[in-house]
């Protein structure tokens, strides 16, 4: 019965959502902080996005609870058109904009946007369907300029021996569905630079599983590689002290799938099932 239900949701998310009462969809708006800002170097604002500004009822309740769990933060939401406008205005003359505009999948464009907006403004980012069950304030220190965690699965990359002792989890990829950085942070700068550097290897190439290629070019693999490069270029203890490396899945507090967040796929199909396509031209 469970497998039948999962197949139904995968194939007909819109119909499934209506049958269980998730419609009408609920609009997502910005949310203002109602407490003092966080005591750290990262601005107290959290950015999120989705192609439209509507999500299912149950998902909205979970998102609202996450926001209330973090009263120090302003939550700012961008839909797809707002993301496009932001990238054009602030990065229109940068090579990263061309890559963004040529992207064939929403997750690739969203990866780029999250790095760019935090590089330009500073703040936190969280995927619209994910949350931390602990308040973000619990992780912060006054000198914190970067906040990130690691995936539970092992990475195929090997950390350079010079920096491996400085990594809390040197055998794991860095999570890119949620993090925080101060404005102009070198890890983000290196990530944007590396996407531009390696883009020609991906342009116009057909990939059997586009999701895996996106992970390499703009996702957690690229973020992890860029972290390695940045640590090599910044060997000081002071730099390491400014990083909050929150272990695996934010010390177990990460929830990577809010309740019924799949309802959003009734509007925009999930990209994980795509096959034999280019990810960027």
pLDDT digits (tens, 9 = 90+) for 33-84: 999 999 999 999 999 999 999 999 999 999 999 999 999 999 999 999 999 9
Backbone φ, ψ for residue 153 (5° rounding): -80, 150
Q: With respect to residue 38, please indicate whether it lies within any of the assigned structural domains.
A: yes
Q: With respect to residue 3, please indicate whether it lies within any of the assigned structural domains.
A: no
- Which residues are CB-neighbours of 68 under 8 A, at least 6 positions away? none
Strands (E), the chain: 26-27, 45-49, 54-55, 74-78, 123-126, 131-132, 146-154, 172-174, 178-181, 206-207, 243-248, 254-255, 277-278
pLDDT at 258 over 70: yes
Distance CA 34, CA 184 (A): 27
115's tokens? 């790095």
Tell me what percent of the residues of the chain surpass a pLDDT of 90. Answer: 90
- In DSSP notation, 186-234 reads HHHHHHHHHHHHHGGGTTT-EESSHHHHHHHHTSHHHHHHHHHHHHHH-
Residue that wins the pLDDT comparison between 66 and 19: 66
| pLDDT tens digits, one per residue of 214-252 | 999 999 999 999 999 999 999 999 999 999 999 999 999
Q: With respect to residue 145, please indicate whether it lies within any of the assigned structural domains.
A: yes
pLDDT band of residue 1 (cuts 50, 70, 90) is low
- Is 0.85 surpassed by the pTM of this model? yes
| CATH number, domain with residue 149 | 3.90.550
- Quote the pLDDT of residue 273: 85
Q: With respect to residue 247, please indicate whether it lies within any of the assigned structural domains.
A: yes
- Quote the pLDDT of residue 5: 61
What is the DSSP-derived secondary structure letter of residue 86? Answer: H
pLDDT band of residue 10 (cuts 50, 70, 90) is confident
Strand partners, 261: none
Strand partners, 103: 280
For residue 277, say if its preceding peptide bond is cis, omega within 30 degrees of 0.
Answer: no
Q: With respect to residue 10, please indicate whether it lies within any of the assigned structural domains.
A: no
Using the Cα atoms of residue 211, residue 212, residue 218 and residue 220 in order, give the sign of their dihedral: positive
Quote the domain boundaries for residue 221. Answer: 24-278
Q: How many domains does the chain have?
A: 1
pLDDT at 278 over 60: yes
Collect contacts of 224-230 with beta carbons under 8 A, ≥24 apart.
Answer: 224/155, 224/157, 224/173, 224/174, 225/157, 225/194, 226/187, 226/190, 226/191, 226/193, 226/194, 227/148, 227/174, 227/187, 227/190, 228/157, 228/159, 228/160, 228/163, 229/190, 229/194, 230/186, 230/187, 230/190
pLDDT at 108 over 90: yes
Q: With respect to residue 15, please indicate whether it lies within any of the assigned structural domains.
A: no
Q: With respect to residue 54, please indicate whether it lies within any of the assigned structural domains.
A: yes
Mean pLDDT, all residues of the chain: 96
Q: With respect to residue 158, please indicate whether it lies within any of the assigned structural domains.
A: yes
């Amino acid at each position: 019965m469970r497998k039948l239900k999962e197949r139904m949701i995968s194939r007909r998310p819109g119909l499934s959502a209506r049958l269980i009462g998730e419609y009408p969809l609920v609009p997502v708006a910005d949310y203002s902080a109602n407490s003092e800002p966080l005591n750290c170097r990262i601005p107290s604002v959290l950015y999120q996005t989705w192609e439209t500004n509507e999500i299912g009822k149950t998902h909205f309740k979970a998102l609202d609870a996450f926001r209330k769990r973090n009263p120090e933060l302003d939550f700012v939401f961008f839909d797809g058109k707002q993301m496009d406008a932001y990238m054009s205005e602030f990065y229109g003359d940068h090579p990263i904009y061309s890559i963004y505009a040529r992207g064939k999948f929403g997750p690739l464009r969203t990866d780029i946007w999250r790095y760019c907006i935090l590089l330009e403004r500073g703040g936190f980012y969280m995927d619209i369907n994910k949350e931390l069950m602990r308040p973000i304030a619990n992780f912060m220190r006054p000198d914190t300029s970067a906040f990130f965690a690691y995936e539970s699965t092992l990475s195929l990359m090997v950390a350079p021996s010079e920096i491996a002792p400085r990594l809390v989890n040197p055998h794991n990829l860095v999570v890119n569905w949620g993090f925080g950085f101060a404005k102009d942070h070198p890890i983000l700068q290196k990530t944007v630079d590396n996407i531009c550097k390696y883009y020609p290897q991906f342009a116009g190439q057909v990939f059997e599983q586009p999701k895996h290629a996106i992970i390499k070019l703009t996702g957690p693999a690229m973020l992890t590689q860029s972290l390695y490069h940045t640590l090599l270029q910044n060997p000081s203890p002071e730099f390491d002290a400014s990083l909050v490396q929150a272990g695996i899945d934010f010390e177990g507090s990460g929830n990577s799938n809010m309740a019924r967040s799949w309802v959003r796929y009734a509007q925009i199909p999930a990209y994980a099932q795509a096959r034999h396509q280019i990810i960027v031209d």
